[in-house]
């Protein structure tokens, strides 16, 4: 999915205002990951995650101000549409039908279409309704969400992904479903102000991001004062780059 213009990437130059971000080098890195050969172990180790990787690549090049340089948006859109499941709704992590639709990849697929200005494609094919049914069917009676049909694992990431998908599609949960999900997310908050992947789980920067964002999608504004605790938790995580019992990682700074 690398456009012909990718060959014009010059020697690495830092982003204006920063001596640490080398735009062209980052674009070459992203483009190289779009050319991993199917006969390599690396390909098969992550082929089920390809659609999400494609979103991160597109988002990265957009943030770097190199839209359409490292990755071709028309090809990315066409590939994302191939990952749709026309029967049950949702997107799989790769095309070809080898993988079942999952809420994580469904968000990636919808985000790709939104980034490329192609969400109207879903409207023209009347597939929005099937995606909405897929997402709503993932909600459990307690308000939590599973990641895919038939699964048993719940995770606050899944609730965030489902709500983000619905938001991008211009849809939302009904009042009762929204109240149950909000109550479940509040139950995942810990005394330190952070959130875990389920009630009683350790606080984590990634889960806290997902829970706070999910509450925003649900318009949960009644507890604004208590949100200060989450902000304090995030501040601590950013300053230390740490999550409990984990090594430092730049990913936590993003959250």
- The reply to whether 111 falls in a domain is yes
Asked whether 68 and 58 are in contact (CB, 8 A), the reply is no
- The reply to whether 8 falls in a domain is yes
* C-beta atoms surrounding 113 within 10 Å: 22
- The reply to whether 73 falls in a domain is yes
pLDDT of residue 206: 87
- The reply to whether 209 falls in a domain is no
How many structural domains does the chain have? 1
Higher pLDDT, 245 or 141: 141
Instruction: Report how far residue 194's alpha carbon sits from residue 209's, in angstroms, rounded to the nearest whole number.
Output: 9
Higher pLDDT, 134 or 124: 134
- The reply to whether 162 falls in a domain is no
Residue 163, pLDDT above cutoff 60: yes
Which domain does 50 fall in, by range? 4-137
- The reply to whether 156 falls in a domain is no
From 35-44, 82-91, 228-237, the region with the lowest mean pLDDT: 228-237
Q: What CATH number has the domain bearing residue 127?
A: 1.50.10.20
- The reply to whether 41 falls in a domain is yes
pLDDT of residue 7: 41
pLDDT of residue 11: 43
- The reply to whether 149 falls in a domain is no
pLDDT of residue 19: 55
Instruction: Report how far residue 197's alpha carbon sits from residue 207's, in angstroms, rounded to the nearest whole number.
Output: 6
Average pLDDT of span 193-212: 90
pLDDT of residue 239: 53
Average pLDDT, the chain: 80
The two tokens of residue 136 are 């709503």
Say what the pTM is: 0.79
pLDDT of residue 237: 54
């Amino acid at each position: 999915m690398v456009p012909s213009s990718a060959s014009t990437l010059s020697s690495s130059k830092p982003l204006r205002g920063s001596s640490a971000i080398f735009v062209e080098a980052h674009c070459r890195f992203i483009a190289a990951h779009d050319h991993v050969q199917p006969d390599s172990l690396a390909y098969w180790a992550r082929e089920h995650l390809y659609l999400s990787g494609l979103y991160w690549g597109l988002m990265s090049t957009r943030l770097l101000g190199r839209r359409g340089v490292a990755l071709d948006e028309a090809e990315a859109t066409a590939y994302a549409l191939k990952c749709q499941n026309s029967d049950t709704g949702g997107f799989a992590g790769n095309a070809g039908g080898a993988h079942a639709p999952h809420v994580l990849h469904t968000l990636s697929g919808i985000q790709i279409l939104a980034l490329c200005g192609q969400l109207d494609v879903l409207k023209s094919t009347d597939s929005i309704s099937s995606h909405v049914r897929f997402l709503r069917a993932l909600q459990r009676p307690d308000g939590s969400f599973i990641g895919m049909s038939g699964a048993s694992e719940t995770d606050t990431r899944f609730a965030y992904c489902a709500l983000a998908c619905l938001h991008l599609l211009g849809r939302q949960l009904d009042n009762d479903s929204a109240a149950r999900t909000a109550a479940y997310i509040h139950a995942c908050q810990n005394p330190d102000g952070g959130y875990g992947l389920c009630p009683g789980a350790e606080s984590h920067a990634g889960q806290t991001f997902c829970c706070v964002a999910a509450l925003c999608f649900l318009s949960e504004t009644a507890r604004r004062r208590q949100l200060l605790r989450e902000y304090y938790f995030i501040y601590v995580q950013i300053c230390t780059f740490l999550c409990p019992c984990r090594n430092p990682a730049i990913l936590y700074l993003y959250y």
